[in-house]
Amino acid sequence: MSHNNQKKIAVVNDFCGFGRCSLAVSLPIISALKVQCCPFPTSIFSNHTGFESFYHTDFTEHMDAYMEEWSKLDLSFNGILTGFLSSPEQISIVTRFLKRFKGRDTITVIDPVMGDYGKLYPTYSMRLAKQMRELLFYADILTPNLTEACILTDTEYCADIKDERLEEICEVLSISGPKKIVISGLERGEDLHNFVYEKGNGSAIIKEHKVGPCRSGTGDVFSSVIAADAVNGRDFIDSVRHASSFIGKVLRRTMEMDLPKTDGICFEEFLTEI
């Protein structure tokens, strides 16, 4: 018997007990799409940093030993998804993880969680952000927002950036590794656009009506759907459409339930429909 008879995705991200983000999102979303989700935690949070108070412990010193146990089990993965990384040490560890576990047929999705609205998150330095570029070499799919795409390409941030410029940014990013890129969450009036690029096949825009304010964990839902769909062989543009429409439906229900912004989106209401 083998541990590798079922499709598996290794998800490298922090774990957050409350607030619907990171690994707590990826576990149910990927599982609902009939793929085993294998968490590789980078940090442990009681609740995410958008709350006034939270408990946090860094997992960096444990990550190599954690990875070694997976090596002993001779695990292989159909997909690898990386999310928030908090230090240069963690980027180095993830690089080692990718060298060890990314097989010839392993689809790697890099979600370069670094900032939004033209600014880095408070926990990030520009030096650390630039180091994130080291992971692009291993990426088959890249899912940045506009801020992150600009940082990775040394492009000046512009909220109303033209589609032609977005394609140029994606072309630059694809040189480093990823052949499929989606720049997510572009605000265009009452709509949100996702700019989808496939090297050699051009680009497309997937639109979804904007629903309420930006909420924690939405990007984690998005990248988790993209990763599971890729492992399941779904067409990339169709996968972006799938993720966008699912999030739109969940956001509408979240608004109906009048949930605090910090609580993320109530995807549990629709897991059987994903």
Tell me the residue ranges of DSSP E strands in the chain: 8-18, 36-47, 56-58, 79-82, 107-110, 115-116, 119-120, 141-142, 180-188, 191-198, 202-209
- Asked if residue 209 has pLDDT above 90, the reply is no
pLDDT average, residue stretch 213-240: 94
pLDDT average, residue stretch 168-191: 93
Mean pLDDT of the chain: 93
DSSP state of 145: B
* Confidence grade of residue 211 (pLDDT, cut at 50, 70, 90): confident
CA angle 120, 123, 127 (to 5 degrees): 65
pLDDT of residue 43: 93
- Asked if residue 253 has pLDDT above 90, the reply is yes
Alpha-carbon 72 to chain mean position:
27
* Confidence grade of residue 199 (pLDDT, cut at 50, 70, 90): very high
pLDDT of residue 119: 86
pLDDT of residue 191: 86
Alpha-carbon 76 to chain mean position:
20
Give the chain's length. Answer: 274
pLDDT average, residue stretch 47-59: 92
Tell me the per-residue pLDDT of 104-133, one tens digit each, with 9 for 90 and over. Answer: 999 999 999 888 888 888 778 888 888 899
Longest dimension (CA), the chain: 54
- Asked if residue 194 has pLDDT above 90, the reply is yes
Calculate helix-pair angle for 218-231, 23-32, nearest 10 degrees.
Answer: 40
Tell me the per-residue pLDDT of 18-33, one tens digit each, with 9 for 90 and over. Answer: 999 999 999 999 999 9
Question: What is the CATH code for 8-142+219-273?
Answer: 3.40.1190.20
Tell me the per-residue pLDDT of 126-172, one tens digit each, with 9 for 90 and over. Answer: 888 888 999 999 999 999 999 999 999 999 998 889 999 999 999 99
